Amino acid sequence: MGLAVVASRAQLGVQAPPVAVEVHLSGGLPSTTIVGLAETAVKESRDRVRAAIQNARLEFPAGRVTVNLAPADLPKDGCRFDLAIALGILAASGQIPRERLDGHEFLGELALSGALRPVQGVLPAAIRCGAEGRTLIVPGGNAGEVALARNTQARAADSLLAVCRYLRDGLGLPDAASLEASTVVDDSTRAATDMAEVRGQLRARRALEIAAAGGHNLLMIGPPGSGKTLLASCLPGVLPPLGEDAALEVAAIASVAGRPPRDARSFRQPPYRAPHHTASAVALVGGGSRPRPGEISLAHQGVLFLDELPEWNRQALEVLREPLESGRIVISRAARQAEFPAAFQLVAAMNPCPCGYAGDPAGRCRCSADAIARYRGRVSGPLLDRIDLHVEVPRLPQQELLAPGMRGESSQSVRDRVCAARQRQRARAGVANARLGGADLRRDVVLDPAATALLEQAAEKLELSARACHRLMRVARTIADLAGAASVDRAHLAEAVSYRSLRMSPSRV
């Protein structure tokens, strides 16, 4: 009787592979069959589509309806194919012109009334659709999300009937970008804690600035209430805003997780994630039968803050080792495999001992050396080796903490220096110093004999691995960039060594 093909897209990690929704009408007893590795939610769409077509005052064809979702070996899940299936049935039955479907892609869930409901993971599909020069039709609830993909022509509809009028009668649908014009603007304003709120802690503030300037991982060790969490919350406010491509990548991950950015301010701001220490390994890296991004992917191009580091499950911490090096995570399941980006900046905090007061001048700590060693041994050496900066955050004296009118340097001033350093790094290597490869590191960090001798002494005395030495050189390069120096000298390397000289043995707190 009739055949129609409608373009749509599936969701596989942060990818949006194309799917051809093929609808064939034939004679026989009335039935609707959906094939093509469709999961339960997709197969249930036959009942939603039938009710939506009838309630839109359109005709559901009598006879056998076969829907094939191609390619057949690609898993399909969710309700995103409802609109495409309904349009395929209407086109195959001659109620809308088939040629009008060309150059369009369709996503959306149908209510029984024929209304369109938003779906998750639309932004990756919008990006790919724009790259292929097609027009994307989405529910009105997804308009703000797809508007972030500024190179994509996208239109929003509130019902199946509105889409049919657009295809059959040429009645226009509103442009998705126009619906969110008031919020999707180029604005990098951020609502992070201002560093002016941090009292004292000059060494920790300096370490935070170096970490921001080079994208380095940071560990803060200090007693409760010394300001570790406050310092970590200041980091997003001193990081440079994301570029267009990086922001789209971050927004696509959030879209897949069901947390699309609300406006351009959150779109441009590097993400900041601070999961509780009871989170599992799956919550950190992602997973599930339908792979979803975890905290490390939600922190992509931003900051992952882990407080109370030794209290975390050892297995959960160990899964961070590979993503810290590769910047991505691959989740493999029996039925599918998904890859998520995970180029995050790790900031961690911990107490020096179980009670938290080892080394305190007041002498409050009563922990034994064995108890302290066991406590610190919960964090493995290989993970610590991947953290570039180790800094103590001591308890402030009461007179300094309560002194009126004492404010530190603002985040804006620090951010200006950080942005200038990042600009030097982009001009020189195209990436932040923390991501320098071996060849780039040898090219950009050429040590003179005095600096080389210092590095050799530090490596021997502190028993540093080859990875730790390379990280020292990257930190020294960042310190030189903050100073505006063209080359790395002994003073820059000496400061970098000072942030690696904190051993995790009880005697060195």
347 DSSP β-pair partners: 218, 305
Which of 130, 147, 179 is a domain's end point? 179
pLDDT at position 509 is: 38
pLDDT at position 147 is: 87
Residue with tokens 């691995």: 465
pLDDT, greater one: 507 or 413: 413
pLDDT at position 186 is: 37
Q: Is residue 256 part of a domain?
A: yes
Mean pLDDT for the stretch of residues 369-386: 91
Q: Does residue 223 share a domain with residue 165? A: no
Number of domain units in the chain: 2
pTM, to two decimals = 0.87
For 363-405, the three-class secondary structure string (H helix, E strand, C coil) is CCCCCCHHHHHHHHCCCCHHHHHCCCEEEECCCCCHHHHHCCC
Mean pLDDT for the stretch of residues 180-188: 40
Q: Does residue 284 share a domain with residue 171? A: no
Sheet harboring 2-9: ordered strands across?
Answer: 2-9, 18-26, 64-70, 31-35
pLDDT band at 288 (very low <50, low <70, confident <90, very high): confident
Q: Does residue 259 share a domain with residue 168? A: no
The percentage of residues in the chain with a pLDDT greater than 70, rounded to a whole number, is 93
* Residue 308 three-state SS: coil
d(CA 133, CA 130): 5
Instruction: Provide DSSP, 470-491.
Output: HHHHHHHHHHHHHTT-SS--HH
pLDDT at position 262 is: 56
Q: Does residue 251 share a domain with residue 337? A: yes
Residue 179 in this model has a pLDDT that exceeds 70: no
Question: Please, is 391 exposed, middle or buried when counting C-beta atoms within 10 Å of its C-beta (0-12, 13-18, 19+)?
Answer: buried
Mean pLDDT for the stretch of residues 55-75: 93
pLDDT at position 504 is: 53
pLDDT at position 503 is: 58
Q: Does residue 203 share a domain with residue 156? A: no
d(CA 223, CA 83): 57
Which of the listed ranges 53-57, 182-186, 330-334 does the model predict with the highest average pLDDT?
53-57
pLDDT band at 263 (very low <50, low <70, confident <90, very high): low
* Residue 15 three-state SS: strand
pLDDT band at 260 (very low <50, low <70, confident <90, very high): confident
Q: Is residue 475 part of a domain?
A: no
d(CA 438, CA 113): 60
Mean pLDDT for the stretch of residues 347-360: 91
Q: Does residue 201 share a domain with residue 168? A: no
Q: Is residue 438 part of a domain?
A: no
pLDDT band at 33 (very low <50, low <70, confident <90, very high): very high
Which of 386, 412, 438 is a domain's end point? 412
pLDDT at position 59 is: 95
pLDDT, greater one: 237 or 359: 237
Which of 412, 432, 461 is a domain's end point? 412
Q: Which domain holds residue 282?
A: 195-412
Q: Are 202 and 393 in contact (CB under 8 A)?
A: no
Q: Residue 318 carries which side chain, given as an amino acid letter?
A: E
Mean pLDDT for the stretch of residues 49-61: 95
Q: Is residue 433 part of a domain?
A: no
CATH number at residue 144: 3.30.230.10
Question: Please, is 375 exposed, middle or buried when counting C-beta atoms within 10 Å of its C-beta (0-12, 13-18, 19+)?
Answer: buried
pLDDT at position 335 is: 66
Q: Is residue 453 part of a domain?
A: no
pLDDT at position 201 is: 85
Mean pLDDT for the stretch of residues 112-116: 96
Q: Is residue 281 part of a domain?
A: yes
pLDDT at position 198 is: 84
Residue 188 in this model has a pLDDT that exceeds 60: no
Task: Give the residue among 473, 467, 433, 468 at the shortest CA–CA distance from 452.
Answer: 473
pLDDT at position 144 is: 86
Q: Is residue 134 part of a domain?
A: yes
Mean pLDDT for the stretch of residues 139-147: 90
Residue 289 in this model has a pLDDT that exceeds 50: yes
Q: Does residue 213 share a domain with residue 281? A: yes
pLDDT at position 56 is: 93
d(CA 288, CA 332): 10
Cβ contacts of 243 within 8 Å, gap of 6 or more: none
Distance separating the N- and C-terminal Cα atoms of the chain: 80
pLDDT at position 395 is: 86
Q: Give the total residue count for the chain.
A: 509
Residue 183 in this model has a pLDDT that exceeds 70: no
Q: Does residue 362 share a domain with residue 305? A: yes
* Residue 117 three-state SS: strand
Q: Does residue 289 share a domain with residue 143? A: no
Mean pLDDT for the stretch of residues 223-249: 91
d(CA 194, CA 174): 40
Using one digit for the tens of pLDDT, what is the confidence trace for 89-112? 999 999 999 999 999 999 999 999
Kindly report the average pLDDT of the chain as a whole number. 89
Q: Does residue 157 share a domain with residue 116? A: yes
pLDDT at position 85 is: 97
CATH number at residue 224: 3.40.50.300
Residue 187 in this model has a pLDDT that exceeds 90: no
pLDDT band at 190 (very low <50, low <70, confident <90, very high): very low
Q: Does residue 19 share a domain with residue 163? A: yes
Q: Does residue 142 share a domain with residue 91? A: yes
pLDDT at position 133 is: 93
Quote the tokens at residue 195.
């560093």
Using one digit for the tens of pLDDT, what is the confidence trace for 421-461? 999 999 999 999 999 988 999 999 999 999 999 999 999 99
Using one digit for the tens of pLDDT, what is the confidence trace for 161-176? 999 999 998 888 988 8
Residue 191 in this model has a pLDDT that exceeds 60: no
Residue 290 in this model has a pLDDT that exceeds 70: yes
Quote the tokens at residue 5.
């093909």
Mean pLDDT for the stretch of residues 472-495: 95
Q: Is residue 506 part of a domain?
A: no
Task: Give the residue among 249, 219, 248 at the shortest CA–CA distance from 232.
Answer: 219
